Structure 1
Amino acid sequence: MVRAAATEFDRDGYDGTSLAKISKSAGISMGALTFHFSSKNELAETVQNEGRALTRAALERVTAQPAPALQAAVNITLELTRLVEEEAIVRSAVRLVRERPDSDLWSDLWVPAVRRLLDHAYAQGQLRGDAEPADVAVLAEHLTAGAEAYLRTRLGTGAEFESATAQLERVWRLALAGISSPGRGQRTPPEDASGSTG
């Protein structure tokens, strides 16, 4: 039932999913569905809770493995991307967060752990002096959100596409190495990107 709901929410979103569609997808009667879940809201909350539980389990699994702090932070984003790629419940939970504004952010589950690891990495000299842990944490959040957006536009199209996890791993290699040649193509962005002169 919950997995059928996750599949429907993942594909059609909260507003585009009805209890009737979920009962049909699950192969059960509407009465059996509403016996367990009295409303779509309650079912969506259950899907989100299961998605959060899978996310926490993945986080615990990755942080339990021995690795340098910076690599562990990267590994979290890769594991979460794999989870989003393979688990409709997690994908659905991420989508529902955007469509149900009263929901806690998915990133609130894992960004604090990434930030702690990045603080350790900075203290241990694994990050450049100008690579502030807070900024690298924002980068990790953006890259993970980008991987989810990449999947969202390709899943269900029937077209072949690259694994989002493999793609993110390659992008991280670029980010960790830096993309500009020493002394070339480096330009400090303006303090005020809005273009105003004060």
Structure 2
Amino acid sequence: MVRQERAARTRAALVRAAAEEIDRRGYDGTSLNKVINAAGISMGALTFHFSTKSELADEVQSQGSHAARTVADHVTAGSGPALQAVIDLTLELARLLEEDPVVRSAARLARERPGSPAWSAAWLPAVHSLLAQAQRDGQLHPAVLPETIAALVVHLVAGTETYARARSVTTDTARASAVVQLGRIWQLALSGISPREPSDGPPTPRS
């Protein structure tokens, strides 16, 4: 049992160190030597768990996608308005991207590794489903197509990834969090999406 727990901690440390390196340097700029130095683990311990950099990157992508999928499942299980759920989902993704380098790295790896599954595949189907429901419920402006809003969501989340990565390396405390920034953008966008008047403040995720 103790050996299994130690192995699990080692594996988690390697994934975290790899994610932080990939987040800063990209897949090509990350070496296994940098990962083991950051994790304080020997090369032998690394290769016991991951025989190649590609295998390690696969695990980072898997964990980052799982985190996003879990958020999508949680949000879509709610009973509130579907359009609000779309907003909630993007804000929760923004929180993940800001707080978790594994998630940021999963999104980056999906772009940088040919043939990798898109990170958006973990959450975009939920967006399409929610927007279809929002249209049926009359929550969208008649002239606005759900697929157009879905494209907007993809761009917003991609921009949030870049913003969150830049914010993670800055000491400028006056710079708004990714969640706050995205909430402000949604407040602006809603005036052209919803037939209803936007609320006085930026949308926030439901608890």
Name the TM-score, length of structure 1 as normaliser.
Answer: 0.86
Q: Decide whether the 8 Å contact of 2:128 with 2:146 is kept in 1.
A: yes
Question: Which of the residues 88, 109, 119 maps onto 2:122?
Answer: 109
Q: Let me know the Cα RMSD of the aligned residues.
A: 1.3
The separation in 1 between residues aligned to 2:46 and 2:124, in whole angstroms, is: 35
The residue number in structure 1 matching 2:198 is none
CA distance in 2, matches of 1:60, 1:167: 24
User: By how many angstroms is 1:118 displaced?
Assistant: 0.7
Matching residue of 2:61: 48
SS at match of 2:98: helix
1:100 to 86, 92, 113: 113
Matches within 5 A, 1:67-86: 67-86=80-99
Between 143-152 and 10-19, report the one with greater CA deviation: 143-152
2:176 pairs with 141, 162, 167, which one? 162
**Alignment of structure 1 residues 49-68 onto 2, 5 Å:** 49-68=62-81
Question: How big is the shift at 1:35?
Answer: 1.3
| Structure in which a larger fraction of residues adopt helix | 2
Inter-partner Cα distance in structure 2 for 1:158 and 1:13? 21
Q: Does 1:148 align with 2:138?
A: no
For residue 187 of structure 2, what is the aligned residue in structure 1?
A: 173
| Aligned match of 1:130 | 143
**2:29 partner SS:** coil
Q: Percent identity?
A: 55
Point out where structure 2 has 5 or more consecutive residues left out of the alignment: 1-13, 194-207
Name which one, 1 or 2, has greater alpha-carbon Rg: 1
Give the TM-score, by structure 2 length.
Answer: 0.83
On the 8 A contact 2:98/2:165 being kept in 1, the answer is: no
d(CA) in 1 for partners of 2:34, 2:172: 25
Give 1:51 shift: 0.6
1:149 Cα deviation from its structure 2 partner: 1.5
Give how far 1:147 is off: 1.1
Equivalent position of 1:8 in the other structure: 21
Distance in 2, matches of 1:63 and 1:124, equals 15
